[in-house]
Amino acid sequence: MKTEEEKGPWFPFGVCAIYLFPTSSESPRTLQPSSPPPAPLSPDQLDRIARNKRAALEKLAAAQEPPGFGESWRQELLAEFGEPYFRELMNFVDEERTRHTVYPPAEDVFTWTQMCDIRDVKVVILGQDPYHNPNQAHGLSFSVRRPEKPPPSLKNIYKELESDIEGFQHPGHGDLTGWARQGVLLLNAVLTVRAPHSNSHKDKGWETFTDAVVQWLSNNQQGLVFMLWGSDARVKGAAIDRSRHHVLEAVHPSPQSARRGFFGCKHFSKANELLQESGKTPVDWNAL
C-alpha cells in the first residue's frame, strides 16, 4: 500500500483546482476610437468630378463619331455617339459595306447636318429610308443627285408645289439642296439601305438616333414647322411638343396615296405663313 506521500496531494471530493496562465501572445485589448466620417465634398470638388466625368464621356463618344457630321450638330448630339446602340449600329453598317452595296456612300450619310446650323432649322420634312438605286441617295430625304430624274414621290411633291406656290416651276432635277441650305431639314428615319432592298436597314438602330434628333429639335427650338407625310412619319412625330411647334399632317406623296390627301394639302404655303407668324424668314421653295 502506498503511503500518503506516494499518493501525491489530496483534494477534497468535488473540488477541482484550475490554474490559468496567460499566453505570451495575448495582451489586454484596448478600444480604439472610431474614425470620424469623411467630410462632405465641397461644391468645387463636386463640380470638378462632374467635369471630369463629362470629359471622359465626350472622349469616348468622340471616338465613335462618324465621318461627315456637321459641327453644330455634333456638339448637341455627341452623347448619342457613346451609347451602346450607336456603336452596334456603326459596326452593323460597316460590316454591311464590306459585303454589300450600301446607299448613300459613307461620306453622304449625314449630308443633312452639313447644310445649315442645327439652330437654324425651321422646317422638318420626315422621310422613311434612302433610295436604294444607284446615284440617287445623298443624305437628304426625297432628294436625288443631279442629273438624276425625280422619283415618283418627288414628282408628286413638285406637282403640289406647282398648285400651292405661285410661280413654282419644275426645276428639271431632283436635288433639294437649295431647301436644305435655307433650314429645311430633310431627315429620313433610317439613314442607310442595302441595295436594292428598301427598308433593309430598318430596326438596326437608326430610328433611335433620328428620334433623338427630332426630340432635341422639339425640346430646344421654338416655332418649327414639322411636315409629317404618311403613317410612319406621324408615328415618329408623336413626341413633338405641339405647344411649341406647328405640325402639318397628310398622306405620303407616293403614287399609291397622293390623291387621297397629299394633293391639295398646301403644306408649303401654310409652312411659310406659320414661319412668318413665328418671326422667321419664309422658305423660298423655288430656290432649287
Q: Which of 94, 108, 129, 164 is catalytic?
A: 129
In contact, 130 and 194? CB cutoff 8 Å: no
> Three-state DSSP class for 65?
coil
Cα separation, 218 vs 242, in Å, equals 9
> Three-state DSSP class for 273?
helix
Cα separation, 283 vs 96, in Å, equals 37
Cell triple for 74: 455634333
Cell triple for 135: 446615284
- The stretches of 82-130 forming alpha helices (DSSP H) are 84-99
Query: Both ends of the chain: CA-CA distance in Å?
Result: 134
> Three-state DSSP class for 67?
coil
Task: Work out the angle at residue 246's Cα, subtended by the Cα atoms of residues 227 and 140, and round it to the nearest 5 degrees.
Answer: 30
Contacts for 138 with CB less than 8 Å, ≥ 6 apart: 104, 108, 111, 144, 145
- Across 224-276, where does the E strand assignment appear? 225-229, 246-250
Contacts for 173 with CB less than 8 Å, ≥ 6 apart: 144, 146, 147, 148, 149, 150, 288
DSSP letter string over 187-218? Answer: EESS--EETT-TTTTTTSSHHHHHHHHHHHHH
- 175 is known as an active-site residue: no
Active-site residue set: 129
